[in-house]
Structure formats: C-alpha cells, structure tokens
C-alpha cells in the first residue's frame, strides 16, 4: 500500500510542478485579452530529456498557430505513462523509450495510426566538471574510488533501464546497484552530477549538452543497450485530436528537424 501511495504522489507531483505552457510571457492588457480568440489547449506529456528542445519547438509552433495553446508536462516516461493510464490530461505522449509507448498502445489508449518513432539519442557517462575522481570509461566505475553513481530509477525512467542494460552487458550490475543513487528522471541525475553530489551519472547525450557544469567522459559501449528511440503518438481520448495530429505532423517538418539536431538529437 505504501508503494502504491508513493507512486500516486509521484504522478501527481509531475502535474503539479512540471507543467509549462508555451507563450506564457508577461500579462496581457484587458483589451488584448478581450479581443483574443478562444484558444484550444493541447496537453503534451513529454520525457524530461525533451524539456529544452520542446520549449523552442513550441514557440515556433504557436507563432503560426496563435489559436492553439501548448501545455507541457515533463517527467520520467514511466510516470507519465502511469498518469495517462489514470486519466491525467494528455493529448500527445512523447516518450524516451518504446516500452512505455507500446504499453499504452496495447491498452488501446493511443489514437490509431498516430504512433511513430521520432528521435534517436545516445547514453553517456558524465562527471562533475572539476571532479578529482579519475573516471574515463564505464569500466572505471568498479573502482573503489567511485562511491556514488547517479542513475535513473529503472522501473520508470528509461535512462535507468538503459543503464542497467549496459551494466548487465559489462557483468557489473550487482556492483553498480551497491553504489547507485536513483533519480526520479534524467534531469535529476544531471542536477546531482552538476552539484558534485555524486561521482558520476548516466544521462542522455542531449542532456549533457545543456550543461557547462559537467563533462562527458564516455559513451556507452556499442551494443551494450537497446537503441534509444523516442516515439510519439496522440491519445485516443483527446478532445482536440485534429490539433494534436497537426502538432505531431509539425514535429516532422524540416524546420523542427533542424531544431532537434541543434540540441543533439538524431531524427528518425
């Protein structure tokens, strides 16, 4: 019962603290608000690793679609999946792994014909920028000098699942579990590493690229984990399904492809 309550609180926390609306700048004057047309609101549940790039993409979209408001909920893909299953507002789901998306598909939650693989990412090992612990590869993590390793919680955070696949490939999983400090999403892993609260962390290459407070010391060995694929889909229960499909189409345009590539993503 305690675990169920904890999971529910985690899900609620995402929607209480991780909601961000595109175009939420300064307050409008009363005249402007009165003259503006009613907006259709699209709720986008997106993996935490998409936080920065989605802010730029949403600004580009709403510039040409002033009648549509994009509201984002960022978090771990597993927590977002659970929230969608429990009826949280969602028109679109952008996951950092296929597992969560496939589960929703099997449950009949996705709008037919909208699921598609969108992006590819990489898994990297990072350390605080001024770390005194010598780490140059995943193999170095077995050293007694490495005490704390920040990982995504593997049950619901895809980067944590990829991390365990890497350690299993290297036959070091049990050793790494003894040193692991588990974050609620990839951004928490990044934050802990930036703050020098851990010796190292495992994140996506795109998350690492957003920070000047860490350094990338290694990429995951080739073949050590499943490909990092980001799928996207509309939710069948969406009240604005046409608009949700339109935004998914926009994500595949050359304009958006350039934005994704600027942030280090590879477009499928």
pLDDT digits (tens, 9 = 90+) for 90-102: 999 999 999 999 9
Instruction: Please answer whether residues 147 and 153 qualify as being in contact, where contact means their C-beta atoms are separated by less than 8 angstroms.
Output: no
Can you spell out the DSSP letters for the chain?
-HHHHHHHHHHHHHHHHSEEETT--SPPPHHHHHHSPPPEEEEEEEEGGGHHHHHHHHHHHHHH-TTEEEEEEEE-HHHHHHHHHTT---SEEE-SSHHHHHHHHHTT-BPTT--EEEEEE-EEEEEETT--S---SGGGGGSTT---EEEE-TTT-HHHHHHHHHHHHTT-HHHHHHHEEEESSHHHHHHHHHTTSSSEEEEEHHHHTT-SSEEEEEEPPTTSS--EEEEEEEBTT-TTHHHHHHHHHHTTSHHHHHHHHHTTPEE-
Q: In which residue ranges of the chain is pLDDT below 50?
A: 1-6, 8-17, 19, 23-35
What is the rounded distance in angstroms from the CA atom of residue 70 to the CA atom of residue 44? Answer: 7
Instruction: Please answer whether residues 175 and 125 qualify as being in contact, where contact means their C-beta atoms are separated by less than 8 angstroms.
Output: no
Of the candidates 21, 4, 13, 151, the one whose C-alpha atom is nearest the C-alpha of residue 75 is 13
Using one digit for the tens of pLDDT, what is the confidence trace for 18-60? 545 554 443 343 344 434 566 899 999 999 999 999 999 999 9
What is the rounded average pLDDT for all residues in the chain? 89
Looking at residue 39, its pLDDT comes to: 81
Looking at residue 33, its pLDDT comes to: 44
What is the rounded distance in angstroms from the CA atom of residue 235 to the CA atom of residue 109? Answer: 6
Looking at residue 3, its pLDDT comes to: 45
Looking at residue 31, its pLDDT comes to: 43
Name residues whose C-beta falls within 8 Å of residue 134's C-beta, 6 or more positions apart in sequence.
Answer: 140, 145
Q: Structure pTM?
A: 0.84
């Amino acid at each position: 019962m305690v675990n169920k309550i904890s999971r529910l609180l985690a899900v609620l926390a995402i929607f209480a603290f991780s909601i961000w609306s595109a175009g939420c700048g300064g307050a409008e004057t009363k005249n402007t608000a009165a003259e503006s047309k009613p907006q259709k609101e699209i709720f986008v549940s997106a993996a935490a690793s998409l936080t920065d790039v989605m802010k730029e993409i949403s600004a580009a979209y709403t510039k040409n679609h002033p009648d549509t408001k994009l509201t984002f909920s960022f978090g771990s893909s597993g927590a977002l999946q659970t929230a969608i299953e429990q009826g949280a507002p969602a028109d679109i789901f952008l996951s950092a792994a296929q597992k969560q998306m496939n589960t929703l598909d099997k449950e009949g939650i996705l709008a037919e014909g909208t699921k598609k693989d969108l992006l590819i990412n990489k898994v990297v090992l990072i350390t605080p920028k001024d770390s005194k612990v010598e780490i140059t590869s995943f193999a170095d993590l077995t050293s007694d000098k490495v005490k704390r390793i920040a990982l995504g919680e593997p049950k619901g955070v895809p980067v944590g699942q990829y991390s365990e696949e890497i350690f299993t490939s290297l036959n070091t999983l049990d050793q790494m579990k003894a040193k692991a400090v588990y974050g609620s999403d990839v951004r928490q892993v990044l934050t802990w590493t930036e703050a020098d609260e851990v010796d190292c962390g495992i994140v996506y290459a795109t998350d690492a690229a957003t920070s000047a407070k860490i350094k990338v010391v290694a990429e995951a060995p080739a073949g050590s984990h499943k490909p990092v694929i980001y799928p996207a889909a509309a939710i069948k229960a969406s009240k604005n399904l046409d608009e949700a499909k339109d935004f998914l189409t926009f994500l595949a345009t050359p304009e958006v492809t350039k934005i994704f590539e600027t942030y280090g993503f590879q477009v499928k």
